[in-house]
Amino acid sequence: MQKQLAIGYQQSCGISRARLFRTMQKLSGYNERLFRVVTEKDYGAREASLCLPDDLHILRESEYVRSRVANNELKYVILVGIGGSSLGTEALYNASFGHYDAIDPTRKPQLIVLDTIDPLFAKKLSAFLQSHVHHPDDFVVNVVSKSGGTMETQLNMQWLLQQLQRRFKCIEQRLVITTDADSRLATYAKQRGMHLLTIPKQVGGRFSVFSTVGLFPLSLLGIDTRELRAGARDMRNKCLRTPITKNIAALSASVLFLQRRAGKFIHDTFLFAPALESLGKWYRQLLAESIGKKPSAGITPTISIGSTDLHSIAQLTFAGPQHTMTTFVTHGERRASLTAIENGVQRAYTHAKLPFMEIVLPNSSPYSLGQFLQFKMLEVMYLGHLFGINAFNQPAVELYKKEVRKILAK
Amino acid sequence: MQKQLAIGYQQSCGISRARLFRTMQKLSGYNERLFRVVTEKDYGAREASLCLPDDLHILRESEYVRSRVANNELKYVILVGIGGSSLGTEALYNASFGHYDAIDPTRKPQLIVLDTIDPLFAKKLSAFLQSHVHHPDDFVVNVVSKSGGTMETQLNMQWLLQQLQRRFKCIEQRLVITTDADSRLATYAKQRGMHLLTIPKQVGGRFSVFSTVGLFPLSLLGIDTRELRAGARDMRNKCLRTPITKNIAALSASVLFLQRRAGKFIHDTFLFAPALESLGKWYRQLLAESIGKKPSAGITPTISIGSTDLHSIAQLTFAGPQHTMTTFVTHGERRASLTAIENGVQRAYTHAKLPFMEIVLPNSSPYSLGQFLQFKMLEVMYLGHLFGINAFNQPAVELYKKEVRKILAK
């Protein structure tokens, strides 16, 4: 039995145990729905992402394409994608290796992400590819776009293809396209003979890390995706199969919900391990985009790193307007001195009656990280149910996209 | 004349021009004080950091030590410091070069920062130094701690010294200590024959980027610190010498103040250039620690990157509780496609009556970055005055430090 992620919640934080339990119990019907989605493998449900951790088809699809492009010479996995298409992969890669790439430059393969549009990045990447990539086996390009039409991804893909086509023949075989089965990008990939991986229709970007979106690049990068899936599966099963009042994701969601009602508009995820910063960013997107649906629901996620941000964030949280609910994420493998700081901070929060939870991640193994990601996706689904909103769409994004299209049409 | 940083503010954001001007006018007496601090070079004042951009002594001190340790072989500047001791240097290094280090690995010297305590980072750094550092000329270690007693910095310094002393003689001459003149660390540095740089007593960490804290490592890293200072000086003089209603830092402070009064508890700095992320983190510390002093004053800073975070943050900001005031930071040198996205986003914010400002950074030159940093430090001083708080101390930090000391004493 692998070490399990644990959660702690201070009863001193102004919410009675009885009230907390009543809120958790409100989730019991929804939890039954989630259980049904999983047992029936209901890919038509909004919560379809819960079926991914034991979907063998998706694992095999990813591993098959991996077997076609992997080799001992592979140096760079170039991921072209933005938001939900890249944040999960970056989170897992950085937590496992990437945070240390600058001081571990010979470890290969490395992940390079092309997300937004940055002319200087493009210029430097062009020179880098010229000097570091000499054979098609040196790299794989993975283009990830659920809709297939993401503007940044399209532009970056075209630019990158131009760069590579000049130098290598048959570049198509080094490209893997991950997209919806019915997108124009999928058609394009098939016409050009590129490898194609598909994403189940109902699985949105921010819930897609256990689909081909995450599994393929992560397995290529040397992360044990079977362990990742096992962590996710165990967490999911533990949450769905235990009584709701013992469900740790329901606990986390209920605390966030009640604290939000009590005026804690901000949820600070305070990670006491710098390598987990990208994990925080993944969660930031998940919480902001899923729950920001009406004035009484949105919670603003912030990400802090311990002990780097401690001075500034502690000063603000202790003395400022007390709008913040904190989740400390502590890492099982750390030095005693950092443990002393963590514990001292938590004691001071308790004395000041500042609400917080603690999530203890046993280590940075794929199994632990898989647990964490699944825990947070469940927490956000439960939160959506408590707030009475749809956690799976993003209607307001259209407000600015419409304006961008108008400008580009001119 | 170099290109100047510009600021835009939408009058449609619910604050009348008359009210904004009245608030700005409240800053006129304080602005006279700042003017006096600068003209009298008043290093006894809380706002002493304003004297730094034309302090020739500090420039010469930094350049003298630089001349003692710099050489053509220098590969790594290892900065041991946390919070105010490192965030400014990281911000400028990353905006200038560092963001691209992974795809520009041969450019030297590189910055390596040891801030918090991370056993895995230490382990990997140890192996890295073993394989990449062969001669004392390959590196400089800069230990930065204002008080000299920062726990993380002390532990990291001791660890690093052990690593290096094993392999190299006379390691002391590759160490530069930056601290208060009367700290125990200063005494230690002198006793061991290490290079010593001092910080003016009244200049706190988060306002210290133009002191030896920033100037020395940045000049070693190849950043033109004279240009940086010129940008800061020009911005400072422009703000202090023009009528208060034309002062752009006073405008920014007044908008943030009035929006905070109107319930905008969160200030999102939305940087449309990924290389500026560390600049955002530097500002995050500055705003949180300076203004988080009483319940009616604190503003929670968040940092977003365009277009990466656009979906999630736009969804939350448009549809959520409308607690957010946004400052877009746009970069003068970018592709047309990103400009279209920026403009589309701003139009949608305007239609939705979401308050925002725009800061246009002409480019990433040291001059532009110097302007930006000085602009933000002035903005925060003005904000402190409007809120009637001391922006220069951090009393609540003691609340958790006390608890940490109790734990460590056991």
ipTM: 0.97
Contact status of B17 with chain A (Cβ, < 8 Å): no
pLDDT of B202 over the 70 cut: yes
Q: What is the per-residue pLDDT for B158?
A: 96
Of B105, B116, B298, the CB nearest to A320: B298
Compute the average pLDDT of residues B276-297: 97
Of A323, A338, A407, the CB nearest to B117: A338
Contact status of A117 with chain B (Cβ, < 8 Å): yes
Q: Which helix (H) or strand (E) holds A385?
A: helix A366-387
pLDDT class of A12 with cuts at 50, 70, 90: low
Chain A residues in contact with B117 by the CB 8 A cut-off are: 307, 334-335, 337-338, 341
Q: Which domains does chain B have, with CATH numbers?
A: 6-27+247-387 (3.40.50.10490), 44-226 (3.40.50.10490)
Record: contact B117-A345, CB cut-off 8 A: no
SS (H, E, C) A58-127: HHHHHHHHHHHHCCCCCCEEEEECCHHHCHHHHHHHHHHCHHHHHHCCCCCCEEEEECCCCHHHHHHHHH
Of A83, A103, A313, the CB nearest to B312: A83
Of B101, B117, B349, the CB nearest to A335: B117
Distance from CA of A392 to the nearest CA of B (A): 12
Q: What is the per-residue pLDDT for A366?
A: 98
Of A119, A322, A397, the CB nearest to B334: A119
Q: pLDDT tens-digit profile of B35-84?
A: 999 999 999 999 999 999 999 999 999 999 999 999 999 999 999 999 99
Global model pTM greater than 0.90: yes
pLDDT of A385 over the 90 cut: yes
Q: Which helix (H) or strand (E) holds A132?
A: helix A119-132
Compute the average pLDDT of residues A189-203: 97
Q: What is the per-residue pLDDT for B384?
A: 98
Pairing of strands A356-361, A6-9: antiparallel
Contact status of B408 with chain A (Cβ, < 8 Å): yes
More confident residue, B333 or B389: B389
Q: How many CB pairs lie under 8 A apart between chains A and B? A: 313
Q: pLDDT tens-digit profile of A237-260?
A: 999 999 999 999 999 999 999 999
Of A155, A291, A309, the CB nearest to B337: A155
pLDDT of A393 over the 90 cut: yes
Dist CA A316 CA B293 (whole Å): 7
pLDDT class of A128 with cuts at 50, 70, 90: very high
Q: pLDDT tens-digit profile of A47-83?
A: 999 999 999 999 999 999 999 999 999 999 999 999 9
pLDDT of A13 over the 90 cut: no
Q: What is the per-residue pLDDT for B1?
A: 76
Distance from CA of A407 to the nearest CA of B (A): 6
pLDDT class of B337 with cuts at 50, 70, 90: confident
Compute the average pLDDT of residues B339-350: 92
Q: What is the per-residue pLDDT for A337?
A: 80
Window A:217-246, CB contacts with B under 8 Å:
none
Specify the range with the lowest mean pLDDT, choosing from A14-18, A367-371, B263-267, B356-360: A14-18
Chain B residues in contact with A313 by the CB 8 A cut-off are: 288
pLDDT of A189 over the 90 cut: yes
Dist CA B322 CA A236 (whole Å): 33
Edge-first strand order for the sheet with B110-114 is B110-114, B76-80, B139-144, B175-180, B195-199
Phi, psi of A138 (to 5 degrees): -70, -20
Chain B residues in contact with A325 by the CB 8 A cut-off are: none
Compute the average pLDDT of residues A391-399: 94
pLDDT class of B190 with cuts at 50, 70, 90: very high
pLDDT of A335 over the 90 cut: no
Of B300, B347, B406, the CB nearest to A302: B300
Record: contact A320-B295, CB cut-off 8 A: yes
Q: pLDDT tens-digit profile of A210-222?
A: 999 999 999 999 9
Record: contact A100-B112, CB cut-off 8 A: no
Q: How much of chain A, in percent, has pLDDT values that exceed 70?
A: 100
Q: What is the per-residue pLDDT for B12?
A: 67
Compute the average pLDDT of residues A9-25: 88
pLDDT class of A9 with cuts at 50, 70, 90: confident
Specify the range with the lowest mean pLDDT, choosing from A184-188, A349-353, B54-58, B300-304: A349-353
Dist CA B195 CA B173 (whole Å): 7
Q: pLDDT tens-digit profile of A251-304?
A: 999 999 999 999 999 999 999 999 999 999 999 999 999 999 999 999 999 999
The torsion of the CA quartet A362, A363, A369, A373, rounded to 10 degrees, works out to: 40
Distance from CA of B63 to the nearest CA of A (A): 28
Cα distances (Å, whole numbers) of residue B286 to B52, B84, B149:
17, 8, 21
Q: What is the per-residue pLDDT for B269?
A: 98
Q: What is the per-residue pLDDT for B402?
A: 92
For residue B176, the tally of other CB atoms under 10 A from its CB is: 26
Record: contact B396-A319, CB cut-off 8 A: yes
SS (H, E, C) chain B: CCCCCEEEECCCCCCCHHHHHHHHHCCHHHHHHHHHHHHCCCCCCCCHHHHHHHCHHHHHHHHHHHHHHCCCCCCEEEEECCHHHCHHHHHHHHHHCHHHHHHCCCCCCEEEEECCCCHHHHHHHHHHHHHHCCCHHHEEEEEECCCCCCHHHHHHHHHHHHHHHCCCCCHHHHEEEEEECCCHHHHHHHHHCCEEEEECCCCCHHHCCCCHHHHHHHHHCCCCHHHHHHHHHHHHHHHHHCCHHHCHHHHHHHHHHHHHHCCCCEEEEEECCHHHHHHHHHHHHHHHHHHCCCCCCCCEEEEEECCCCHHHHHHHHHHCCCCEEEEEEEECCCCHHHHHHHHHHHHHHHHCCCCEEEEEECCCCHHHHHHHHHHHHHHHHHHHHHHCCCCCCCCCHHHHHHHHHHHHHC
Contact status of A147 with chain B (Cβ, < 8 Å): no
Q: Cis bond leading into B217, ω under 30°?
A: no
Compute the average pLDDT of residues A395-401: 91
pLDDT of B148 over the 80 cut: yes
The torsion of the CA quartet A315, A319, A323, A324, rounded to 10 degrees, works out to: 40
Q: pLDDT tens-digit profile of A71-120?
A: 999 999 999 999 999 999 999 999 999 999 999 999 999 999 999 999 88
Chain B residues in contact with A343 by the CB 8 A cut-off are: 403-404, 407
For residue A60, the tally of other CB atoms under 10 A from its CB is: 10
Q: Which chain B residue's Cα is nearest to A334? A: B119
